[in-house]
A and B are shown apart, each in its own frame.
Chain A
Amino acid sequence: MKRVLIIEDEPDIARGLRDALEFEQFEVTTAGQGREGIRLLRERGADLVILDLMLPDVNGFHVCEEIRKSHAVIPIIMLTARSQEPDKIRGLEAGADDYVTKPFSVGELVARINAIFRRLHRAMPATDEVIKIGDVTIYPRRHELVRNKKTMTLSFYEVELVRLLHERAGEPVTRDEILEKIWGSAHTTSRSVDNFVVKLRKKIEDNASKPRHIVTIYGTGYKLVV
């Protein structure tokens, strides 16, 4: 049984999510505060975290960063009323894998959680695959990227995006294809793809504003230049 940790201060939302996810056969733990959530994750572990941004004790972005320090791969879905583009980018930069804005559909949330678990299971490389892009080395299995002797962590979706672009290196890959193959649902928009590309460029490129490796093909998508 997959375990989901919900970090949400509004008790009714936490209650509704718990009921809905338990109904879907997930094992659910809830925390009303950020620090409590981090502690519960360390003590009991979880397979996925649903994280509210506005928490009474610690900012949700900070909680996300803290979780990433100890759990590089665990999928994190941010759940918040803040739907502005900069908030989403900030959330993704903090290490979140997905961003769901309130009011949300429980059905959609459950579908997203299931999709993440399916892909997580399917996507895990069997061998120690290594991807080289310029002077950057990526270890998909370890969710790590090494550049200039500095190691950085990659989230689940970042690894998937790199792997897809690398498989098709030198060819343009459309946003729709990326969405279909990585997110696999209609709930995510092509803006999410762009946001992840922005994150990846910051890690891979020397100058993210003038990318040499992940190149934009205007009106289509992206192309990886190894």
Chain B
Amino acid sequence: MRRIGTGSGASISLIVAFVFPAMIGAALALAYYGFQYADTVSRPIEALFREYSREEAEKMVSEFETRVDQPALALFEKVAAERKEPTATPACEINPGPAIDSYQVLNADKKEECHWPSGNAASKHLRAFWNDYRGKLEWDLVRIGSWHHFHELEDGHSVLVVYTARKTEDDRGYFVAARMNMEVIGKKWLDESLVKLRKNLRVAVIDDDGNLVAGAPLGRADREERFLLEDRFGKALYRWRLQVAPQNVDAFQAQAERQKKLRPLLIVLSTVIMVVGLGIVWLVMAAERRTSRLKSDFIANVSHELKTPLSLIRMFGELVATGRHKGEEAAKEYGGIITRESERLSHLIDNVLDFARLERGKASYDFAEGDMADLLERALDVCRYRLDKEKLKLRTQIDLQLPPVRMDENAITLVILNLVDNAMKYAVDGKFVDVSLGRSPGGVVLSVRDHGPGIAADEQARIFERFYRARAARDRNVRGSGIGLALVQYIAEAHGGRVTVESPVAGEPGALFRVHLPAPVPEIAETPAPQAAGVKS
């Protein structure tokens, strides 16, 4: 049978043909480059440390230098406020706080107007300092409103001067220079800033002459130097450098080594997971494709199955209605065909509806104790007409002394009709269809045997799968939907029983289906062959 392609089928084929190989290729490429990358990364372990520590160090330096500028900027604003009045004369009486130990105010010609503190003892010394430094500061480079830093090392100590150029409201220029108190900034404030870094790192601040300003000396051991990171105090204290190193080089190195070993393992693991995942998805899709194909065959089969009896009903109905027949006898015969095909249609619709309920998980049965032999007789009566037409002889062997069976009569009738229908369809050349009902250990067994070509061994398990149709049936265009035996199995199991198939039967061609159903009361002894006295043939 020609299968009609669907849109989803085409996209699945596309995925299988192109996307899966591409994804597997990508996973393998990822693994390859992952290994390469892991190797590159693990080489300079110290680079990991630098990456890890640089951000923290830069942040500390930036925050510290911003803090250093604050007292000087506050002083500059206070001096500006004091000089707001055009007639005001500078007195250098503003106390700049502990971070500034001296400041000087100069006029536009860089002549000192005053300095602070102005006490006699300090005054001589400070005048000498400012006289010395006035020549060192780059006054001409300072733009109005901005400020500059001058950082100098002197006898192992740092001197930091922050200076600015300003204008009064009447356009008179002046300069202010503040000398920072290094006892406060370089010790107290610096220590406070370094505390945060010391949680994970060892830190030190050194000047350009190699003198230690704060912290413990670093970088002497070679191994430490590999893990030494330096960051210059670039803005204000530009003669200083911050040095950081791991708290424990051995532990850091061990951690890096562990990462070096773990990383390839993780890459291998993730690649395996990806490939296995893809494999599972592929298998699921293959199963889904198969089910989808079977469903589409099922729809085609059911539609064909429905159309054949419908065609006959319509055709013969039309022949009778329009009088296109050869007389009363023919009309009667047409009526018989219409009746029979209506039954066939009804049986097929029952099958499909029952199967649909089963598919939705809503199949439920009304169980009641009943006489299986009587039910079988009634079901076989429905089949007799067609058996005669197919020139098949029905041979029955029914044990009339069977215990009552707890069953849903409609469902078991469907089982019998399906099995006999199968025997008729697939074994039309077999001449006989044998149906027997007898006892089995713990219950009863219904057997339906045909004498047709039989079922190949590799297909015997699959014929109970929904939508599956045996090769012979497909090849010979035998009508069928592929749900009959699935339904038989489902109903048997819902009754606590089971269905089996045997082919060939004791070396003879044909197939034998057995449906075992439990019969709980009374206890039954095993009797493989029906008793002659109670058997109807």
- Evaluate whether A13 and B315 lie within 8 angstroms (CB atoms) in the complex, with A23-B324, A107-B322 already known: yes
A217 close to B (CB within 8 Å) = no
Asked if B307 contacts A90 (CB within 8 A), the reply is: no
CB-defined contacts of B324 to chain A, threshold 8 Å: 19-20, 23-24, 106
A13 touches B312 (CB 8 A): yes
Q: Is the CB of B337 within 8 A of A19?
A: no
Q: Which residues of A contact B303 (CB under 8 A)?
A: 81
Task: Tell me whether A107 and B337 are in contact (CB under 8 A).
Answer: no
Residues of chain A contacted by B304 (CB below 8 angstroms): 54, 81-82
A107 proximity list for chain B (CB < 8 A) = 318, 322
Contact B307 A16 (CB under 8 A): no
Q: Please judge, given known A-B contacts A90-B2, A106-B324, whether A81 and B308 are in contact too, CB under 8 Å.
A: yes
A12 to B319, Cβ gap below 8 A? Answer: no
Q: Does B13 contact A (CB under 8 A)?
A: no
Q: A16-B316, A103-B314, A104-B314 are in contact. Are A10 and B308 (CB under 8 A)?
A: yes
Q: Which residue of B lies closest to A15 (CB)?
A: B337
A86 beta carbon closer than 8 Å to chain B = yes
CB-nearest residue of chain B to A60? B477
B326: Cβ under 8 A from any A Cβ: yes
The answer to whether B477 and A103 have CB atoms under 8 Å apart is: no
Render B315-351 as a binary contact track against A, CB cut-off 8 A, 1 for contact: 1101100101110001000100100010000000000
Contact check: which of B310, B325, B477 meets A55 at CB < 8 Å?
Answer: B477
Q: Is the CB of A81 within 8 A of B311?
A: yes
- Does B326 lie within 8 Å of A19, measured CB to CB? yes
A17 to B2, CA, bound (A): 26
A87-B311 CB under 8 A given contacts A16-B319, A55-B477, A107-B318: no
A residues less than 8 Å from B311 (CB atoms): 13, 81, 102-104
B4 within 8 A of A: yes
Let me know if B476 is at the binding interface, CB within 8 A: yes
Among A16, A56, A90, A102, the residue within 8 A (CB) of B477 is A56
Residue of chain A at shortest CB distance from B315? A16
Of the four ranges (under 10, 10 to 19, 20 to 34, 35 or more), the interface on chain A belongs to 20 to 34
Summed over the interface, the residue pairs from A and B with CB atoms below 8 Å come to a total of: 74
Distance in angstroms between the alpha carbons of A24 and B318 in the assembled complex: 14
Beta-carbon contact of B314 and A19 below 8 Å: no
Alpha-carbon separation in the docked complex, A103 to B322 (Å): 17
Q: In the docked arrangement, what's the CA distance between A50 and B312, Å?
A: 16
Asked, given contacts A81-B303, A81-B308, A87-B2, whether A103 binds B476 with beta carbons under 8 Å apart, the answer is no
Determine whether B300 belongs to the interface, using a CB cutoff of 8 Å to chain A: yes
Bound form: Cα–Cα A133–B308 in Å:
44
**Min CB distance, A225 to chain B, in Å?**
33
Residue of B nearest to A58 (CB): B477
Nearest B-chain residue to A85, judged by Cβ = B4
Q: Is the Cβ of A106 less than 8 Å from the Cβ of B308?
A: no
- With A12-B337, A16-B316, A87-B2: A82-B310 Cβ-Cβ less than 8 Å: no
**Chain A residues within 8 Å of B315, by CB:** 13, 16-17, 20, 103-104, 106
Whether the pair A19, B308 counts as a contact (CB closer than 8 A) is: no
**Is A54 in contact with B4, judged by CB distance below 8 angstroms?**
no
Query: What is the bound-complex CA distance between A43 and B406, given in angstroms?
Result: 61
Report A-chain residues with C-beta under 8 Å of the C-beta of B300: 82
- When the two chains form their complex, are residues A9 and B477 in contact, meaning their CB atoms are under 8 A apart? yes
Query: Could you tell me if B318 and A106 are in contact, using CB atoms closer than 8 angstroms?
Result: yes
**Chain B residues in 8 Å Cβ range of A209:** none
The contact string, 1 if C-beta is below 8 Å from chain B, for chain A 1-20, is 00000000110110011011
Residue of B nearest to A23 (CB): B324
Neighbouring B residues of A17 by C-beta, 8 Å: 315
Report if A105 contacts B (CB, 8 A): yes
Q: Which residue of B lies closest to A90 (CB)?
A: B2
> In the complex, which residue of chain A has the Cβ closest to the Cβ of B330?
A19
Set B312, B314, B326, B477: member contacting A23, Cβ < 8 A: B326
> For the complex, is A207 an interface residue (Cβ under 8 Å from B)?
no
Residues of B contacting A57 in the complex (Cβ-Cβ under 8 angstroms): 476
CB distance A16 to B312 under 8 Å? yes
Q: How far is the CB of B325 from chain A (nearest CB, A)?
A: 6
Question: A84: which B residues are within 8 A, CB to CB?
Answer: 4
In angstroms, Cα B314 to Cα A20, docked, is 13
A103 neighbours in B (Cβ, 8 Å): 307, 310-311, 313-315
A9 nearest CB neighbor, chain B only? B477
Interface centre among A9, A84, A86, A102 (most CB of B within 10 A): A102
Chain A residues within an 8 Å CB radius of B308? 10, 13, 81, 102
Q: Identify which of residues 283-325 in chain B touch chain A, using a CB-to-CB cut-off of 8 Å.
A: 300, 303-304, 307-308, 310-316, 318-319, 322, 324-325
Binary per-residue interface labels of chain A (32-75) against chain B in the complex, 1 for a CB within 8 Å, 0 otherwise: 00000000000000000000001111000000000000000000
Distance between Cα atoms of A102 and B307 in the complex (Å): 6
Give the complex CA separation of A101 and B304 in angstroms: 11
A12 and B334 alpha carbons, distance in the complex (Å): 10
A23 to B2, CA, bound (A): 35
A selection of 22 A-B contacts at a CB cut-off of 8 Å is A9-B477, A12-B312, A16-B315, A19-B324, A19-B325, A19-B326, A20-B319, A23-B324, A54-B1, A54-B477, A56-B478, A57-B476, A84-B4, A86-B2, A86-B4, A87-B2, A101-B307, A102-B310, A104-B314, A105-B314, A106-B318, A106-B322
What 6 pairs between A and B have smallest CB-CB spacing?
A: A81-B307, A103-B311, A102-B311, A103-B314, A81-B304, A16-B315
Besides A13-B308, A13-B315, A107-B318, 20 more A-B contacts (Cβ < 8 Å) are A12-B316, A12-B341, A16-B316, A19-B319, A19-B324, A20-B315, A20-B319, A20-B324, A24-B324, A54-B304, A57-B476, A81-B304, A82-B300, A82-B304, A86-B2, A104-B315, A105-B314, A106-B318, A106-B322, A107-B322
Chain A interface residues (CB < 8 Å from chain B): 9-10, 12-13, 16-17, 19-20, 23-24, 54-57, 81-82, 84, 86-87, 90, 101-107
